[in-house]
Chains A and B, each alone.
Chain A
Amino acid sequence: MTQKHIISRKLRRVFIKGPKKVKMVFKKRKHSKQKCGNCGKHLGGTIRERPYKMRTTAKTKKRPTRKFGGVLCPECTKKELKKRIRS
């Protein structure tokens, strides 16, 4: 009998080529893409990795250096800044 947590497709299957045979390895899945807090659009310039890899990567490689970078999309930042100026 195969184990139950493998049947449920909770883990990702990765095939690694060896010298004589192909080996199957189970790995955990990545989180979903990051979205804009206002309109829900996918954000550019952001990465999706497992937490052990996010810890070692630099902060400038995880989000754009713009104001509200990694939170709002560029079109929503324009609207937000215009709102703050005019109020």
Chain B
Amino acid sequence: MLSWPPPALWLQEFLADKSQRALLSILAAGPIPQHVAFVMDGNRRYARMHHQEVQQGHAEGYVALRRMLEICMRLGVRCVSVYSFSIENFKRSPKEVEALMDLAEEKLIELCQHGELLEEYGVRLNVVGKKELLPVRVQLAVEKAEHLTAKNDRSILNLCMPYTSRDEMATAVQFAVQEALENDDQDAEITEKDIDAHLMTTLAGSPPLDILVRTSGVKRLSDYLLWQCSENTQIQFSSAYWPDFGLWDFLPILLDFQRKDIISALSFAVEWRKGCPRQNWPRSERYRRGRRKNRERGRVARICMGLRDRLDVILTSRNHIQEVVFNSEWQVYEAKDGEETCKFDRVIKLARERLPQIIGLQELTLESRVKQVTS
């Protein structure tokens, strides 16, 4: 059988790349998850199926990781977490563990080099887990890799190695207790928010988890991100082995996420039309609407409902505040004034002044949107 001549092969790859980019930009028009986690399972079974060495399976797994990372970055996912190595995996044969450590050491530096994937998309690398269990050479590689990408701020990649979720939760409990002891507050009460704040993923700056994907058909969490995926996270099990996992396997997962978002937005819009007062706004709703100018006051307000308990209120005005994020108790979660984070008390003051008007606007636009959608 004749193989493709080189120019035609190049053309085939070029067209495949272009069509992938087009599909991703179409998908990016809808809701995109902020944080996606992958359990990269099935490398060894993939290798056995293709009559290869186990190390070759792990190498193919690394290629799949790069592929998925690029897809997520092009979609605009802010944070990707991958389960590279569990603390339990130290029980494997010393030869395999050694090969995995070699792979980790080599690929960590490769990923963070100048001109490479992480730099191209502005991704900051965090290695999450009990790093003291790693061999010294890998710890040095981790330190170097984290240092190389420390200034990147567009996205985050959490490489969980060696990691177990119970270890993370126990460490968070320890840190929370230590903090309370240091503050020496006799009436201190540790709440679940305190534990959440001390988790390794939160300390690395990760947003709440939206989707967790486990490959190779196994339907377990296997001690991965148990706390983070306990609420408001879609857990998807894919039957493909990790080295085979690609955009076509990820597409239904993404579409499921978008459907949930759109349905929540529509149901919220219908509720709002019934005259739901502000204090009864349902949580975990999301919708997005276009910009409307308030010509009378010369201000533009765009309101998006965030996932879970966040309400994103975007105020642009002569005070130049561009985005304010509230949680359901109307406490400021995050605020950005152009490029800088502005002071919370100023934002709170402005938000309290302007919220009644914004709610008025919201009623107007939602009603018209509901008419569009339901007609």
Say if A and B assemble together. no
Q: Which residues of B contact A (CB under 8 A)?
A: none
Q: Which residues of A contact B (CB under 8 A)?
A: none
